Structure formats: C-alpha cells, structure tokens
Amino acid sequence: MTDFGTIAGKVVVITGGARGIGLATATALQALGARIAIGDIDETTVKESGAARGFDVYDRLDVTDHQSFDAFLDEVERRLGPIDVLINNAGIMPTGRVVDEPDKITRRILDINVYGVILGSKLAIGRMLPRGRGHVINIASLAGETHIPGLATYNASKHAVLGFTDTLREEYRGTGLRFSSVLPTLTRTELGSGVTGPKLLRPAEPEEIADAITKLIVEPRSKVRITAMAGIISQVVGLLPQSVGDAIGRALGAQSAFLDDVDSDARKAYENRVRE
C-alpha cells in the first residue's frame, strides 16, 4: 500500500505550474502536506493560481533562461529549504504541418520542451548531489514513443526528454538521486484544446496525471504511462513491424487528429498564446 505520508514536508518545485497538469499536481501534493513552489512564464496567472491556493512560492519563471531558473531555485531554497523534487512540466504543443511551422516556433518548442528540461535538471542535480538525495521528474509524453502527424517538432522534443532522462538515471546511479519520466496521453487541458484524441483512447484528466506523479514520488520508477490503455498500445505498436504499426495508427485516426480534425476556433486562444 502506497504511503503518501512520506510526502508531507517535501519541498516540491513545479515548472509550468500556473495551469493544467502542473497546477493539478501542485494542488494534489499540497493536500498531502508538501511545500509547493510553482513557476510559470505567465506571471499574472501563476501569481493568481499560487495566491488562490496558498502555495509557498509562486512567481514568474522562464525555463529557457539560466539566470531566471537559477534565481527561482535559489529563492525556493532560501524560503523553504533544500529542494526534494523538481518536476519539469513546462511545455508547449503547437500543431500543424512542419513545412508551415515558422522557424521561431520550432526554436520555441525546442527551447521550452528540451532545453528547459535539460537546464532545470542540471540546476537541480547541482543542488541535490552534495546532499545525496533528490528526485527529478520530467514530463514527457506518449508522443515521445511514437510519431504523430501534425506534431513533428513536439514529438522530437518528447523523444529527447525520454532519452535525456534515461541517460541521467544511469549517469547518476548510486548517488541517491532519482530520475523519472511521465508519459501522458492527450490530456484535458488547454494544451489539448480543439483536439479529439485517437479512436478507442479517452483523454486523461489532469488529476490522473497528478495522481501518477504523486505515486511516483513515493515509489520512484523510471517511467509511468497514463492512461494505462494508451501506454500499452504505444508500447505494443512500437514492437510491431513499421507498416503494421503505422496502419494501426491510421486506423485509430492519428493521421488526422492533429491536422485536419483540429477545431481551429476552439484551439485558437492556446495557439496564439504559445506562439507569442
């Protein structure tokens, strides 16, 4: 039986914590007694979310800027003490064909989804190694184990997160540090607005991802996939011959889910925000 009592008192930092999976995770962990620090590039929303829920630290954080990230972690440790868990959650998912993707957006996806994770992990490791304890949890995606038309750069970024996190797990084996990847399916957050998931696979709720992360903190594992069914399909398809796996993906609707089937009006606000 999972002992959630071990979470009480832990200092947990969550990037991209103003909304969605990050906010759901912060809320769940706070309810179990964790001391919560959330950072987000959206200064107004992160301060509104943090103040409304009484989090310990909430402020603007640009995960692509070394000075911003380092100063944020310094402030957390000054106010709350040593960081026990860093959850690199910040990420964006613009959709569309790669030929139509402006270079600025390509770089922005990679800067936030890949460099931001690498930078945060490096800064956390530097703080955790001398203490011989700490847990870095990187939010990847089941898209990091497959290939979905309309998400080429996003897919690439999540493949990178998985490879990076697995490498850290081996590089720091025996140090007392833990490294985990979380692989959600399409989730009912603003990031997934206007998108209908593949057939037979229901979208996850942000609270489901939060619950999985909570269990991961108590009982560390290298990877957790949510939902269970989507995770099984992803793994099985990856073992099949390419032509068979691709055919299954097309049968499930993956070919058009993030292209022709997107509700542009419902997605417009999100796309505009992440492309600024």
Q: Any idea which residues carry the catalytic annotation?
A: 154
Task: Report CA-CA distances (Å) from 191 to 64, 94, 119, 187.
Answer: 19, 8, 22, 8
CB of 160 closer than 8 Å to CB of 187:
no
**Cα 96 from Cα 133, distance rounded (Å):** 41
Residues contacting residue 250 through CB under 8 Å, at least 6 positions apart: none
- Whether omega before 189 lies within 30 degrees of 0, making that bond cis, reads no
Helix ranges, the chain (H): 20-31, 43-53, 66-80, 103-110, 116-128, 152-171, 206-218, 228-239, 242-251, 254-257, 264-274
DSSP 8-state assignment for residue 197: P
157, 108 Cβ separation under 8 angstroms: no
- Give which of 46, 6, 60, 1 is closest to 29, Cα–Cα: 6
Query: What is the Cα–Cα distance from 157 to 199, expressed in whole angstroms?
Result: 24
DSSP string of 119-153, one letter each residue: HHHHHHHHHHGGGT-EEEEEE--GGGGS--TT-HH
| Closest by Cα among 18, 14, 39, 15 to 190 | 18
| Residue 157 amino acid letter | S
